[in-house]
Amino acid sequence: MTQIEGLNPFTPGTGQLPPYLAGRENEQGQFRQILAKISAGRSPDADIVMYGPRGMGKTVLLNWLKNEVKEYGTTDNPIRTSSATPNQLKNPAEMWGFLLSDDWLKNLPPDKMEFGVKGFLSGTWTKKGAPNQALLKDLISECKKNPLVFLLDEAHTMEPEQCLALLNLSQQVQNEAPFLLVLAGTPGLSHFLTTVGASFVERSKKMGIARLDAQATADAIVKPLNEHGIKIDDNTLAPVVEDSQHYPYFIQLWGEALWDLAKEKELQKLTYQEVTAAKTRVESVRLGFYSSRRRRLKDDGLLKVAADCAAIFQDQSRFKEVDLEKAIKDALPDNQSDERYESQVLRDLARHEFIWNPPDTDLYEAGIPSLMRYVLDKQREHIQN
Ligand SMILES: Nc1ncnc2c1ncn2[C@@H]1O[C@H](COP(=O)(O)OP(=O)(O)OP(=O)(O)O)[C@@H](O)[C@H]1O
Ligand SMILES: [Mg+2]
């Protein structure tokens, strides 16, 4: 028996870099190419729109990118990063505060700042969606010296006007200097962007963040355990990988529970017994998670149709939109079913990420398959009682 040292490395929560960032080689490769380009003083080809259901790892990737930027740029001209969420950019002055460097803001006399940022901008930025020309010029010259990577998380919560202004600004800076805008948000983000009236957004680079594959899931759990001298063989791990559904948040829950058990029992090798005990811990957290998701569906009057949809997904994991609409239509009472209603239901379930359209396919799948099972089981219980 050896003592397992240190704190639990797993990070089930929001946005913290996991001990091993698994299965995102493709996205990381794409970002590295862009960083190489902007380090060389060139503009990226387009903004990046990162989208995916909650808990898939969008914020983690933004945090990874923020760290990775340090590897690029030169000592004289390092790349700057700035990150925000829309609620930190409630007015144009706040927006410029995130875009311009601290040095720039420091060197501005307070009276000029007051006038230059607040006065002028509230007139031009918010009303016409066009950025202040003087500040824009300064931002461009700053980016020529220090390229800027601006990360906006939860971008689906932007006001349309705020969003249009930012997209326009990004275009204008990119035309003259290396500037990368990365927007991250729920699957509805892509659609939201098309509604704000910036036609060029269609040419932005879409990066769908989906569940991991089985190998990446196994790596995300095993590598950090091994680093702490804890072993688990493939057969013992297989049910863990399956139960995690390859969903990053559940993967971290599993890792955390297994690590805790190894530490409590001072084990260097995990067996089926610990997997069973860890499952009980994972399940109790997961039930709270499912229950709050179910409540949100209930609040929107979508419980019954979500359960019907879940039943459809029990036999098949992916559907074409038309087939899913047809299946939903068949599940609805006659008086409720018409084409518009079915596509509205589909959109509502997608808004709740109960279903979603992963990247590189036009097929719909479950946001989290086990959540479907939970909603379905609860509905059946409800009918029986
Ligand atoms: N590639 C990965 N490998 C292992 N764990 C990951 C990975 N990506 C994310 N995680 C873990 O998954 C959880 C969710 O990640 P994150 O908060 O980044 O998701 P998100 O997509 O930003 O969710 P939300 O939309 O709710 O903000 C965290 O616990 C994180 O540590
Ligand atoms: Mg996030």
Ligand 1 atom nearest the C-alpha of 16 is 31
Candidate from 83-92, 193-202, 328-337 with smallest mean pLDDT: 328-337
Ligand positioned closest to the Cα atom of 185: 1
Quote the ligand 1 centre to 13 CA distance (angstroms). 7
Ligand positioned closest to the Cα atom of 250: 1
Quote the ligand 1 centre to 58 CA distance (angstroms). 6
Most confident option among 1-10, 214-223, 307-316: 214-223
Candidate from 81-85, 168-172, 293-297 with smallest mean pLDDT: 168-172
- Name every protein residue with a CB atom under 6 angstroms from any ligand 1 atom: 11-16, 18, 21-24, 52, 54-60, 220, 248-249, 251-252
Condensed to tens digits (0 to 9), the pLDDT of residues 243-285 reads 999 999 999 999 999 999 999 999 999 999 999 999 999 999 9
**pLDDT band at residue 2, thresholds of 50, 70 and 90?**
low
278-to-187, 274, 334 alpha-carbon distances in Å = 31, 6, 46
Checking phi first, is residue 59 left (phi over 0); if not, alpha (psi -120 to 50) or beta?
A: alpha
Quote the ligand 2 centre to 100 CA distance (angstroms). 24
Atom 9, ligand 1: residue with shortest CA distance = 57
pLDDT averaged over every residue in the chain: 89
Gap between the Cα atoms of 12 and 212, Å rounded: 16
pLDDT > 70 fraction of the chain, expressed in percent and rounded: 93
Residue of 329, 316, 298, 332 whose CA lies nearest to 364: 316
**pLDDT band at residue 117, thresholds of 50, 70 and 90?**
very low
Quote the ligand 1 centre to 376 CA distance (angstroms). 26
Residue of 239, 175, 187 whose CA lies nearest to 47: 175
Quote the ligand 1 centre to 284 CA distance (angstroms). 19
244 φ, ψ to 5°? -70, -15
Quote the ligand 1 centre to 75 CA distance (angstroms). 32
- Ligand 1 pocket test, pick from 61, 252, 282 with the greatest ligand atom count within 8 Å of Cβ, gives 252
Span 117-133, mean pLDDT? 45
Ligand 1 atom nearest the C-alpha of 52 is 21
Atom 26, ligand 1: residue with shortest CA distance = 54
Quote the ligand 1 centre to 14 CA distance (angstroms). 6
User: Regarding the domain with residue range 25-208, which homologous superfamily does it belong to in the CATH classification?
Assistant: P-loop containing nucleotide triphosphate hydrolases (3.40.50.300)
**pLDDT band at residue 131, thresholds of 50, 70 and 90?**
low
Gap between the Cα atoms of 188 and 186, Å rounded: 5
Candidate from 131-140, 148-157, 239-248, 267-276 with smallest mean pLDDT: 131-140
44 φ, ψ to 5°? -70, 160
Give the three-class secondary structure for 27. helix
**pLDDT band at residue 109, thresholds of 50, 70 and 90?**
low
Condensed to tens digits (0 to 9), the pLDDT of residues 158-193 reads 998 888 889 989 999 999 999 999 999 999 898 899
- C-beta separation of 30 from 180 below 8 A: no
pTM: 0.91
Gap between the Cα atoms of 272 and 30, Å rounded: 39
**Which residue ranges make up each domain of the chain?**
25-208, 214-295, 300-384
DSSP strands (E only) in the chain: 48-51, 80-84, 148-152, 179-185, 205-208, 318-320, 355-356, 363-366
Quote the ligand 1 centre to 12 CA distance (angstroms). 8
Give the DSSP H or E segment for 257: helix 248-265
Gap between the Cα atoms of 221 and 100, Å rounded: 40
DSSP lists the bridge partners of residue 152 as 84, 183
Q: In CATH, what is the architecture of 300-384?
A: Orthogonal Bundle (1.10)
Condensed to tens digits (0 to 9), the pLDDT of residues 227-237 reads 999 999 999 99
Ligand 1 atom nearest the C-alpha of 15 is 17
Strands 48-51 and 205-208: parallel
Residue of 159, 317, 308, 293 whose CA lies nearest to 245: 317
Condensed to tens digits (0 to 9), the pLDDT of residues 33-51 reads 999 999 999 999 999 999 9
Whether pLDDT at 115 is above 60? no
- C-beta separation of 101 from 84 below 8 A: no
Ligand positioned closest to the Cα atom of 153: 2
Gap between the Cα atoms of 61 and 63, Å rounded: 5
Atom 13, ligand 1: residue with shortest CA distance = 249
In this prediction, residue 373 carries a pLDDT of 96
Ligand positioned closest to the Cα atom of 14: 1
